Amino acid sequence: MGKNNNSKYISIIKFSPFGNTLKIGEYIQNILTESNQQCKLFNLTGISWQQISSFDYSLVEKSDLLVIGSAVYAWKIVKPIKMFIDNLPINKNGKAVFFTTYGLITGYTLFNGANLLRKKGYKVLACLKVPARHSMIFKKEDDIYLNRPNQQDMKKIWKFSKLNIKLLNKFPIWELYFKKLDYHSWKVKLLYKFMIKRFGMDLITSTYFNQRIFKR
């Protein structure tokens, strides 16, 4: 894809088992395209584990920015997104932004996602978490985000998208920004380290998670 002097090449990579992350990813794509950016969306939802692990990174290697979106499951980034980042080629000049959608709890995903990208050489310019209808609500629970994302959420996503363009030319001091993502209390960190991180995703089998849940 050719570029002109006034536009950037931006790749959006997302996995959306319930449709919320897709909705936001497409909205970001529209905003960036309307802002004269060259933007392409890569949807990892529903494809096989083999297809994800063998993703053709030449499709995104020349991107000025990666926009990566993940749902939150058991406080974590979903496995397909983690696989995608784990297999990314090292890029010391790479820039990325990261967003998540969550139902009941935001989890530890922003810090973890930024840390994974950091290990690949990427600077994460911005992060965003968006409340959304929960796809695994229990019968006795009230889904407090049943009607989310709403109009106010979409306004924040619009600002987030516009900010990404500005930050490509003047990004924050990376180490200071990265530390700000580690905002959880020590109690949350202990719970994550000893319970959720160890056992959380064992509640959802890989096959069910990737092949079926997104079709509901």
- Summary count for the chain: helices (H), strands (E): 9, 6
Sequential DSSP letters for 118-148: HHTT-EEEEEEEEE---TT--TTS--TTTT-
Domain that holds residue 124: 9-215
Q: Is residue 2 part of a domain?
A: no
* CATH code, 207: 3.40.50.360
Provide mean pLDDT across the span 51-71. Answer: 94
Q: Is residue 1 part of a domain?
A: no
Q: Is residue 80 part of a domain?
A: yes
In whole angstroms, what is the distance from residue 39 CA to residue 28 CA? 9
pLDDT > 60? residue 10:
yes
Work out the percent of the chain whose per-residue pLDDT is above 90: 44
Q: Is residue 174 part of a domain?
A: yes
Q: Is residue 4 part of a domain?
A: no
**Total residue length of the chain:** 216
Q: Each residue of 170-180: pLDDT tens digit?
A: 766 666 566 67
pLDDT of residue 183: 63
Q: Is residue 126 part of a domain?
A: yes
User: H or E stretch including 208?
Assistant: helix 206-211
Q: Each residue of 178-214: pLDDT tens digit?
A: 667 766 665 666 665 655 555 555 544 443 444 444 3
Q: Is residue 3 part of a domain?
A: no
103 neighbors 143 (Cβ within 8 angstroms): yes
Q: Name, in order, each residue with C-beta under 8 angstroms of 108's C-beta and a sequence gap of 6 or more.
A: 75, 76, 184, 188, 192, 196, 197
135 neighbors 117 (Cβ within 8 angstroms): no
75 Rama class: left (phi>0) / alpha (psi -120 to 50) / beta: left
Provide mean pLDDT across the span 62-74. Answer: 91
Lowest mean pLDDT among 67-71, 160-164, 172-176: 172-176
Q: What is the pTM of this model?
A: 0.79
Domain count for the chain = 1
Q: Is residue 128 part of a domain?
A: yes
